[in-house]
């Protein structure tokens, strides 16, 4: 496994790979959810690249960029064990210059839900994803469905900028109790992890009601919020179509139910694709 820390080193290593390359961009603090992405990339491609970069431009002032978990030795050991070919770990200086060109998130889909709560986040996210895709030149890139709005915007960017890469959405990975895996789960103590189960439990309640043919979104949101009373603060709960437009009734195979809430000082998100 090659660990590349500057762009020229990475480009030399990338040039040696086969015709089919899978790419998994991450911010590190790798967990079982990341290993699932890597395993899918390995299964579908001749070679696999993982990037580890805690991207400053997608964090707002006062957010947890400084505190975000960094576990380089653990992450490299996981990548080695999974058979990753290249791990790209660039510096901020390598990825960003002065007076950078900006990529703006779309005015509608980029400024609702996460975009409304974290204005500017998606512009920074799209900026780094485009840079990484341009550097890695992958055949396929793998992103989890837990960050549903991020995934939708990346697919939109790739389509509208005519980028030659297939974006592969990957299912949410959960722990044995149903908590969606996230690097930020490391902030939670045992009591808070139990409290955080309210997010997945609220989505499970909605799923059960939909199976009973309850398709009214207002009623579903009431039931979700009832269970989310156990969290410290709810940022939002919303039901949208795949274009992130609010809907009044569940649309089969075209609906996402999203929740965002705080457990102590930790902000978590989860969702259900219907």
Q: Known catalytic residues?
A: 34
Boundary residue ending a domain (137, 170, 203): 170
Residue 271 tokens, joined: 């969702």
Strand pairing report for 266-273 and 255-263: antiparallel
Judgement on whether residues 142 and 68 belong to the same structural domain of the protein: yes
Residue recorded with tokens 């039901």: 239
**Per the confidence metrics, is the pTM higher than 0.85?**
yes
The stretch 28-37 carries a mean pLDDT of 93
Is the same domain home to 91 and 151? yes
- Inter-residue contact 26 to 34 (CB < 8 Å): yes
pLDDT tens-digit map of 35-73: 999 999 999 999 999 999 989 888 877 787 777 878 899
The residue-averaged pLDDT of 79-88 equals 98
Tell me, yes or no, whether 126 and 203 share the same domain. Answer: no
Residue 101, pLDDT score: 86
In a domain, 176, yes or no: no
User: 21 and 135 in one domain?
Assistant: yes
The predicted model gives 204-225 an average pLDDT of: 97
Whether 152 and 27 map to the same domain: the answer is yes
C-alpha span between 145 and 159 (Å, rounded): 18
- pLDDT (mean) for 153-167: 97
Q: How many domains does the chain have?
A: 2
> Which of 15-29, 50-64, 128-142, 150-164 has the weakest average pLDDT?
50-64
Do 163 and 233 lie in one domain? The reply is no
Specify if 180 maps to a domain.
no
Distance of alpha carbon 180 from the chain centroid: 11
Range of the domain at 56: 2-170
């Amino acid at each position: 496994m090659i660990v590349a820390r500057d762009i020229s080193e990475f480009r030399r290593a990338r040039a040696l790979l086969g015709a089919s390359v899978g790419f998994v961009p991450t911010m590190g603090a790798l967990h079982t959810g990341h290993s699932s992405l890597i395993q899918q990339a390995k299964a579908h491609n001749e070679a696999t690249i993982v990037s580890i970069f805690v991207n400053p431009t997608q964090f707002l002032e006062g957010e947890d960029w400084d505190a975000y978990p960094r576990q380089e030795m653990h992450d490299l050991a996981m990548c080695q064990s999974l058979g990753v070919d290249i791990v790209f770990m660039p510096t901020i200086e390598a990825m960003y210059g002065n007076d950078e060109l900006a990529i703006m998130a779309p005015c509608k889909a980029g400024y609702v839900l996460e975009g409304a709560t974290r204005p500017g986040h998606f512009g920074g996210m799209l900026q780094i994803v485009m840079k990484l895709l341009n550097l890695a030149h992958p055949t396929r890139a793998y992103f989890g469905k837990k960050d549903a709005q991020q995934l939708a915007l990346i697919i939109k960017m790739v389509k509208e900028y005519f980028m030659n890469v297939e974006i592969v959405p990957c299912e949410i990975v959960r722990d044995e109790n149903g908590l969606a895996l996230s690097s930020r789960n490391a902030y939670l103590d045992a009591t808070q992890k139990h409290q955080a189960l309210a997010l997945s439990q609220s989505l499970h309640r909605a799923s059960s009601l939909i199976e009973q043919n309850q398709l009214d979104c207002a009623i579903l949101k009431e039931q979700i919020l009832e269970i989310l009373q156990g969290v410290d603060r709810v940022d939002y709960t919303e039901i949208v179509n795949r274009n992130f437009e609010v809907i009044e009734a569940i649309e089969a195979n075209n609906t996402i139910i999203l929740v965002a809430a705080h457990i102590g000082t930790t902000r978590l998100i989860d969702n259900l694709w219907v």
